[in-house]
A and B are shown apart, each in its own frame.
Chain A
């Protein structure tokens, strides 16, 4: 079991690195989907099968697909010429240093986590569902409102009204 975890982790890391350093947007997105699938495997190994399913269905299946559709709509060119121009190796240094500092902080911070109990127990969707609709009912309703707000907002933001500029403001 541990082996599967390490393999999935490695796949997730490698595909994430490929995703963020890619030149082609579609390729990067596809790598990202792979990374999400690997993480979903890890979720399953962590005794959360319901969440693993949700990860694939919603995250990789809806959100990433939305990304891909928008990227295809924007038609930003497959060659990635501009990406090459923008992405010189020198740019990686400073963020990497910062990330290293944060990583060091992170490692120092997690040294004091207590060990887990030995009994292993799968958390079934039923438990999650009961918890969701009894303890966290209010949060569910708020999340629903949030989704509705998102729908309405996205509809308005996406509308392409022809902008009418006054004739004095037109630059001709």
Chain B
């Protein structure tokens, strides 16, 4: 069992090595086998490890294995050690399974690309780093995985590096997440200095024993770790990189920027929930940030006309839901929503990738249309994904997960009506923009004809993910409907249950309200975008729409506050003293050269004269010694 755990991150890394070293010499088929096969093997291993884990509950709560010693410097001891508990198991399952489907999809999606082996090498490296992140036993190893996924995100966003725009987007993503990473490493250092260990379980235990709830050091550390999570998960104020990251290929957007990397922040907060419980202010801040982000991103998604950007803002918004759940203490609900979101968001991105590919790289939804009849399978799966995203009542998995969050946002001890209102507004917006997307892209008259139909390797993953988006919710049904608690029972040992306050609210009432709101949103989208498009035309050209489309002006704000002053400063500082030093050294050397080259004037008598002077000097010296 423990060897399985060690193999899980190792196999994708091995796949990366093989593809990186020999990728140029292998055939496409072999690369596909190695690239997707390694993830498939890992998915199988996760499956087996999961079964073992479930069988050994409730006696064994987690498995740990130490591979080798990594750092042993003074008081800092960190090992390469992995531990599998319920939380890591859920994340591993999602990463490997969804990752495997995405890899299969990529074999056909990237079939004509010249960087085929490079793509799979990077993807394997990414999956390996992400698995290290979720399986890490100590926080330094987690940070290693954290940085690794950041690197792979950079490499994969800028995959088509010949376009400068892609490189710019990749750098933007890297730099903004770096800000978060810096905060996180400071938090890690504070933790290490306070407790002398980097093992996560030890840290959490000692924190709960030694730190008082609400003490400034707990708040500081929690806030710093939150900073790291904000960067990686693209929440306010570090959310500006994710829409631009859509410059990468669609499988990359599906895997990294929908299902896995952006949820690393959620994982971090869930893993360190003890620490966050000790800092209630920070938790409230998480909830508020989540609520604000989901609203801002929801409005922005409404105004986009690039298909992938709609989905990007949708991702930001949904992760805002997860943060909202974490903020009110609904740990398992957040992780549940993560799992379901991974299914339908990956589905949506993959389907969007198919649409863009068959329409010859057309991204603008207003130039699409009428694809319902031309690509029925893609249409059906896309519809299921969008329905799950909008939390269509009762039949989609998204309903159960989002509904749990909405319920806890008002009924948890730290919950608030305002948060619930923000959540429900977000649900309305989500339904509105997702069905706007469906109606404009798939209905109406076809403005661009599809060049070809997608093959099996692209459609089968779509179908599998669509099925999961429907039935995945049935593992956790709320009290009022079916009361199945498979999921929360699984993670019970790792993530404590939500503390619900006694109140007169009934759950059915809130579920009914959210169902009605979602249906209202779908109906509004139908009316405004399909039945009478003229109603939305005037809004499309309004200033408010432009404001929403530019992401509420955050890019411009950061440009004015940070980018322009730094560029101006560096322009002024161009010829400072360190430049003088460098230029001065070279000038001095050139000057010496000029001086010395005067003595090499090619004249014989000049040389003879120098001989004679030399002889005279030496002889005089020798005589008078």
Which A positions have Cβ atoms within 8 angstroms of B?
94-95, 98, 101-102, 105, 108-109
Query: Are A105 and B619 in contact, with the CB atoms below 8 A?
Result: yes
CB distance from A88 to the nearest CB of B (A): 14
Question: A102 CA to B623 CA in the complex, in Å?
Answer: 11
CB distance from B612 to the nearest CB of A (A): 5
Query: Are A101 and B616 in contact, with the CB atoms below 8 A?
Result: yes
| Residues 605-625 of chain B, each 1 if its beta carbon lies under 8 Å from chain A, else 0 | 000010011011001100100
CB distance from A110 to the nearest CB of B (A): 11
Q: Which residues in B have their C-beta under 8 angstroms from that of A108? A: 623
Query: Are A105 and B620 in contact, with the CB atoms below 8 A?
Result: yes
Query: Are A109 and B620 in contact, with the CB atoms below 8 A?
Result: no
Question: A98 CA to B612 CA in the complex, in Å?
Answer: 7
Q: Which residues in A have their C-beta under 8 angstroms from that of B609? A: 94-95, 98
Query: Are A109 and B616 in contact, with the CB atoms below 8 A?
Result: no
Query: Are A98 and B619 in contact, with the CB atoms below 8 A?
Result: no
Question: A98 CA to B615 CA in the complex, in Å?
Answer: 10
Nearest opposing residue in chain B for A100, CB measure:
B616
Nearest opposing residue in chain B for A109, CB measure:
B623
Query: Are B623 and A98 in contact, with the CB atoms below 8 A?
Result: no
CB distance from A2 to the nearest CB of B (A): 29
Question: A94 CA to B610 CA in the complex, in Å?
Answer: 12
Question: A105 CA to B613 CA in the complex, in Å?
Answer: 13
Query: Are B620 and A98 in contact, with the CB atoms below 8 A?
Result: no
CB distance from A98 to the nearest CB of B (A): 5
Question: A129 CA to B619 CA in the complex, in Å?
Answer: 36
> 6 smallest A-B Cβ distances: which pairs?
A105-B619, A101-B616, A108-B623, A98-B612, A105-B623, A102-B616
For B, the interface residue count at a CB cutoff of 8 angstroms equals 8
Nearest opposing residue in chain A for B613, CB measure:
A98
Q: List 15 A-B contacts (CB under 8 A).
A: A95-B609, A95-B612, A98-B609, A98-B612, A98-B613, A101-B616, A101-B620, A102-B619, A105-B616, A105-B619, A105-B620, A105-B623, A108-B623, A109-B619, A109-B623
A-B residue pair count with CB separations less than 8 angstroms: 20
Nearest opposing residue in chain B for A106, CB measure:
B619
Question: A101 CA to B613 CA in the complex, in Å?
Answer: 10
Nearest opposing residue in chain B for A107, CB measure:
B623
CB distance from B128 to the nearest CB of A (A): 62
Nearest opposing residue in chain B for A98, CB measure:
B612
CB distance from B562 to the nearest CB of A (A): 61
Nearest opposing residue in chain B for A108, CB measure:
B623
Q: Which residues in A have their C-beta under 8 angstroms from that of B623? A: 105, 108-109
Q: Which residues in B have their C-beta under 8 angstroms from that of A101? A: 616, 620
Question: A109 CA to B615 CA in the complex, in Å?
Answer: 14
Q: Which residues in B have their C-beta under 8 angstroms from that of A102? A: 612, 615-616, 619
CB distance from B614 to the nearest CB of A (A): 11
Question: A95 CA to B619 CA in the complex, in Å?
Answer: 16
Question: A161 CA to B257 CA in the complex, in Å?
Answer: 80
CB distance from A13 to the nearest CB of B (A): 20
Question: A102 CA to B615 CA in the complex, in Å?
Answer: 8
Question: A98 CA to B609 CA in the complex, in Å?
Answer: 9
365-403 of chain B: CB within 8 A of chain A: none
Q: Which residues in A have their C-beta under 8 angstroms from that of B619? A: 102, 105, 109
Question: A108 CA to B619 CA in the complex, in Å?
Answer: 10
Question: A94 CA to B605 CA in the complex, in Å?
Answer: 12
Question: A98 CA to B613 CA in the complex, in Å?
Answer: 7
Q: Which residues in B have their C-beta under 8 angstroms from that of A109? A: 619, 623
Question: A100 CA to B330 CA in the complex, in Å?
Answer: 105
Question: A108 CA to B616 CA in the complex, in Å?
Answer: 13
CB distance from B569 to the nearest CB of A (A): 56
Question: A105 CA to B615 CA in the complex, in Å?
Answer: 10
Question: A105 CA to B619 CA in the complex, in Å?
Answer: 7
CB distance from B542 to the nearest CB of A (A): 74
Nearest opposing residue in chain A for B615, CB measure:
A102
Nearest opposing residue in chain A for B618, CB measure:
A105
Known: A102-B612, A102-B619; 9 extra A-B contacts, CB below 8 A, are A98-B612, A101-B620, A102-B615, A102-B616, A105-B616, A105-B620, A105-B623, A108-B623, A109-B623
CB distance from A94 to the nearest CB of B (A): 8
CB distance from A160 to the nearest CB of B (A): 23
Q: Which residues in A have their C-beta under 8 angstroms from that of B615? A: 102
Question: A108 CA to B622 CA in the complex, in Å?
Answer: 11
Q: Which of A94, A102, A105, A109 has the largest number of chain B CB atoms within 10 A?
A: A105
Q: Which residues in A have their C-beta under 8 angstroms from that of B613? A: 98
Question: A42 CA to B619 CA in the complex, in Å?
Answer: 28
CB distance from A109 to the nearest CB of B (A): 6
| Residues 586-616 of chain B, each 1 if its beta carbon lies under 8 Å from chain A, else 0 | 0000000000000000000000010011011
Q: Which residues in A have their C-beta under 8 angstroms from that of B616? A: 98, 101-102, 105
| Residues 21-36 of chain B, each 1 if its beta carbon lies under 8 Å from chain A, else 0 | 0000000000000000
CB distance from A108 to the nearest CB of B (A): 5
Q: Which residues in B have their C-beta under 8 angstroms from that of A98? A: 609, 612-613, 616
Q: Which residues in A have their C-beta under 8 angstroms from that of B612? A: 95, 98, 102
Question: A109 CA to B621 CA in the complex, in Å?
Answer: 12
Question: A159 CA to B615 CA in the complex, in Å?
Answer: 37
Nearest opposing residue in chain A for B616, CB measure:
A101
Question: A98 CA to B619 CA in the complex, in Å?
Answer: 12
Question: A105 CA to B436 CA in the complex, in Å?
Answer: 107
Q: Which residues in A have their C-beta under 8 angstroms from that of B620? A: 101, 105
Question: A108 CA to B613 CA in the complex, in Å?
Answer: 18
CB distance from A33 to the nearest CB of B (A): 25
